[in-house]
A and B are shown apart, each in its own frame.
Chain A
Amino acid sequence: MTMSNIFLISSTSLIFIGLFGVLTRKNIVKILLSLNIIETGINLLLVAFGYKEGGKVPILTSSDSINHLGNMVDPVPQALVLTSIVIGLGTTAFALGLTIRYYKTHGTLNIEANDEEEVTAHE
């Protein structure tokens, strides 16, 4: 068992757990938490894809580090993950705003609530 295998397996499990949550939960906030777990899992997975046993941080700190560029971990997945974290935040924020509105219009957080207007008229 190497370090990268551990992280590959754990991140894949996180993605599966999140998928299970998205598929089975009914509460919108729970679904959003599951989505966030998927996103965390993907971020870990991408960084693990770029990881290399005994690799170093891809930051130049001294004149010596330039001679060992081949030892550094792959910086591109890290750059992609930086972007995807921010996109995840955007999704979460927007979805939570919609959730609050949903709670006001539907009176519940259940995703299977009826969307048609007529239902509210009787309440």
Chain B
Amino acid sequence: MMLLLATFLSFVMIATAIWVILTPSLLKAIIIFAIVSLVASVSFIFMQAPDVAITEASIGAGITTAIFILSYKRVSEKN
């Protein structure tokens, strides 16, 4: 069961990562990247690494996305 779930998570992660690269919209890419990070942090729990999971969720998914979106506002305000 866990194995199945892990496989599913991996597929979600890879599919979303490809989506990030291919989508032409920047904002969409940033939001989808947050999903990649969140799924990665769930994967860390699967690999028995709760410390890393918490750090990845708060820093990788939270703060990185926040900085990306704030920057996006600055670079897109003129067009």
Contact = CB atoms under 8 A, between A and B. Distances in A.
Interface of B is mostly: helix
Interface string B21-41: 100001001100100110010
A65 B60 CA distance: 31
Interface of A is mostly: helix
Interface residues of B, number: 40
A36 B64 contact: yes
Contacts, number: 137
A27 B26 contact: yes
A14 B64 CA distance: 18
Interface of A: 1-4, 6-7, 9-10, 13-14, 17-18, 20-21, 25, 27, 29-30, 32-34, 36-37, 40, 43-44, 47-48, 51, 55-59, 72-73, 78, 81-82, 85-86, 88-89, 92-93, 96-97, 99-100, 103, 109
Interface of B: 2-3, 6-7, 10-11, 13-14, 17-18, 20-21, 26, 29-30, 33, 36-37, 40, 43-44, 46-52, 55-56, 59-60, 63-64, 67-68, 71-72, 74-75
